[in-house]
A and B are shown apart, each in its own frame.
Chain A
């Protein structure tokens, strides 16, 4: 499924930081490919990595 382009551009254009935009794109892509549970898991992994780095 193609990513809904106006949604992506809407959110990206309103996020002030580049890394936030990157994060959003990455998560939205993951959601479309794997679904919400994978997104949650990816964020948990990220939190874990940041906590234990």
Chain B
């Protein structure tokens, strides 16, 4: 005897936000209603209560929000109660409080039969009572909308996943995928290999190279003649101390000053520093030595120069000691005056000589100009008479002009009268003369007047005009002459004045009257006078220069004696003079020369420098030796690091091998289990497939392994002669039929003590024929199974109501914040 799910009581789960109590039919229960009214929530609640999970609600958003507990429920918890009847009656209750962040939060399970079981014990009791594996419950009792939807997709991996879920191998495949981490492991191994390689190359090889270089350096030092026994810090300390002593001795001898030496430490770096300090001391001493040498050299040169100068000046001055400088100064002054006078004289004559040619030229030009203008005036007066005569002529011409103008006026009047008479006669044509009343012929008269009378008058007028013109011209000429005479008289007056002026200037220059002087001889006379004065100047000047030279030489020697003596006094810090001063200076020069020779010696400094240099090489060697030894101390650590890395690498390889072995086994299992399951399912699956009217030609379903690693299944359909991929030939309805067939055969195989089938929207995409075929199949299934179907489809509901005898139908009509409204549907 099996178990029946009698009733389900649920509150605050998924779309259900109030307590609902649904009594289930032992054969068929239909949950019908539009989308979103809570049908699937009821089926999900049953599954959740039995398994603690709702498939398809894992990962993604479901890890961030609680999808189990209803958002509007007052109790803030989900509770599902299932009542089972059968060999024993029991009640299964699962609860979960709302959490803010996840779907898979903590929940409690209790099973009450003859006693109460909690959590794991409740789960184990349920499994024992129903006689079915826990993992088989979801795939054998609950056909989800999503399962059908995934079966209908065109993505092979999703279709394969549907098969795997129905076969119960989906988790094994997911597990196999999850442990496939070869790429990550290989990447880590590669990184470790890189580190090992770098350690070997950069550190260990570096240390070995250090040791090799050290040996090479030692060999070179020995070849240079260094003693092997001296290659230690003790020798370094002794050598530094010896060199210090020598440096101090030199320093004292050269009077350079005491050097300060730091304490000697046996540490190599400290010895190197101390030895370097010695090099600095040597450089410093050498610099001081060079400076002292330079100073001595300068001082010797300065003293010697002063001595030479002093001695020379003293020797020469002996010649001037008896000289009467006062008499010589007086004589020099007198000569100087004479020279000045001669010079003035020469300058004066030279000035006259220079000015004479332009002055005489100006004088002659002025004279010439004056004479020419006077001659010109005389010629005009000769031709036209004097100014009074010219004035009389002008008056006479002007009177003549007046008379001619009066005649011209008279004849012009006559001509006007003739012209008027001609006009009158021409117009009046009179036959009588208006003057003499004689008979006339007007045409002849006009002709005579025009030709004879008018011609005579015109000739007279022309003659008068000509006279007038001639008189004008003559008058113009006389006025011009008058102006010329006036202008010449003014010009002559000016020329005479100029001539007188130039004459005076010339006479002033030559200091005599022109009339009494022969101007042509003057230049030669003056030049002779200059020559004579110059000769006299040279004679006096020679005597003057001789006196001046003597006085200058004496003064120079006195200055030289004074300066060189002062220099020697300054250098020697004494106030003596003469031979005593010279002897003292000579002695000082000899002393300085001896000291200079001491400063010139560099052998000792060079020796110490050589010693310091050799010690530098030894200390460098010792420093390298210490570095090498320090580095070699790292070797065990490095070896340990390498061993650790090798161990890590081995562990990773081991892990890789382990995961590879596990993967191989899980894949093999999946394959074997799938094949076994498919074989078990295939016949049953095809019974259902035929019953729900599968493909008319491809009347058998097959499940094939499409790919081995990772395993990929494919639905195929076969006729007696050929097989085909379902998606290429099947309608979506036929694909749905195939998925239902697999599920129902699975359910039959894993029925256990609970022959329960829940189908969520099983007829999606089906036509009426297939819906009715499914309804008919369900009617036969209810003999062995308790079936719960959720559907939104009216035809499906109607076919089920028609073909199934024992059934209950609930209508879920609407949903709001207060929960779904449920009523019982009746086909009566």
Write the residues of chain A forming the contact surface with B, with a CB cutoff of 8 angstroms. 1-2, 4, 7, 10-11, 14-17, 19-20, 23-24, 27-28, 31-32, 35-37, 39-40, 43-44, 46-47, 50-53
Contact of A24 among B178, B648, B662 (CB under 8 A): B662
Contact of A19 among B135, B172, B648, B658 (CB under 8 A): B658
Q: Are the C-beta atoms of A11 and B179 separated by less than 8 Å?
A: no
> Is B533 close to A, CB under 8 A?
no
Contact of B648 among A11, A20, A43, A50 (CB under 8 A): A50
Chain B residues positioned under 8 Å from A39 (CB to CB): 175, 178-179
C-alpha spacing A24/B59, complex, angstroms? 23
C-alpha spacing A51/B553, complex, angstroms? 107
> Is B75 close to A, CB under 8 A?
no
Query: Which residues of B in the span 80-134 have a Cβ within 8 Å of any Cβ on A?
Result: 127, 133-134
Q: Are the C-beta atoms of B644 and A53 separated by less than 8 Å?
A: yes
Contact of B179 among A1, A19, A27, A52 (CB under 8 A): A27
Q: Which B residue's beta carbon lies closest to that of A50?
A: B651
Contact of A11 among B127, B133, B191, B665 (CB under 8 A): B665
Q: Are the C-beta atoms of B51 and A1 separated by less than 8 Å?
A: yes
Q: Which B residue's beta carbon lies closest to that of A2?
A: B134
Q: Are the C-beta atoms of B191 and A1 separated by less than 8 Å?
A: no
C-alpha spacing A52/B651, complex, angstroms? 11
Most buried by A among B51, B177, B647, B666: B666
Chain B residues positioned under 8 Å from A10 (CB to CB): 665, 669, 672
Q: How far is the CB of B242 from chain A (nearest CB, A)?
A: 57
Q: Are the C-beta atoms of B58 and A35 separated by less than 8 Å?
A: yes
Chain B residues positioned under 8 Å from A44 (CB to CB): 181, 184
Contact of A20 among B127, B191, B661, B672 (CB under 8 A): B661
Chain A residues positioned under 8 Å from B665 (CB to CB): 10-11, 14-15, 24
C-alpha spacing A18/B256, complex, angstroms? 88
C-alpha spacing A16/B662, complex, angstroms? 10
**21 pairs, CB–CB < 8 Å, chain A vs chain B:** A1-B53, A1-B134, A2-B134, A4-B135, A7-B172, A10-B665, A11-B665, A17-B658, A23-B655, A23-B659, A23-B662, A31-B175, A31-B178, A36-B174, A37-B178, A43-B181, A44-B184, A47-B181, A47-B655, A50-B652, A51-B191
Interface size on B, residues (CB 8 A): 39
Q: Are the C-beta atoms of A23 and B658 separated by less than 8 Å?
A: yes
Q: How far is the CB of A2 from chain B (nearest CB, A)?
A: 5
Q: Which B residue's beta carbon lies closest to that of A39?
A: B178
Most buried by B among A2, A7, A32: A7
Interface of A is mostly: helix
Most buried by B among A32, A46, A51: A51
Number of A-B contacts (CB under 8 A): 93
C-alpha spacing A17/B24, complex, angstroms? 52
> Is B673 close to A, CB under 8 A?
yes
> Is B240 close to A, CB under 8 A?
no
> Is B61 close to A, CB under 8 A?
no
Q: Are the C-beta atoms of B51 and A40 separated by less than 8 Å?
A: no
Contact of A43 among B171, B179, B647 (CB under 8 A): B179
> Is B188 close to A, CB under 8 A?
yes
Chain B residues positioned under 8 Å from A2 (CB to CB): 127, 133-135
C-alpha spacing A20/B660, complex, angstroms? 10
C-alpha spacing A36/B161, complex, angstroms? 15
Chain B residues positioned under 8 Å from A23 (CB to CB): 655, 658-659, 662
Q: Which A residue's beta carbon lies closest to that of B665?
A: A11
Interface string of B163-200 (1 = CB under 8 A from A): 00000100110110111010011001001100000000
Chain A residues positioned under 8 Å from B184 (CB to CB): 43-44, 47
Interface string of B138-168 (1 = CB under 8 A from A): 0000000000000000000000000000001
Q: Are the C-beta atoms of A28 and B175 separated by less than 8 Å?
A: yes
Q: Which B residue's beta carbon lies closest to that of A14?
A: B665
C-alpha spacing A31/B178, complex, angstroms? 9
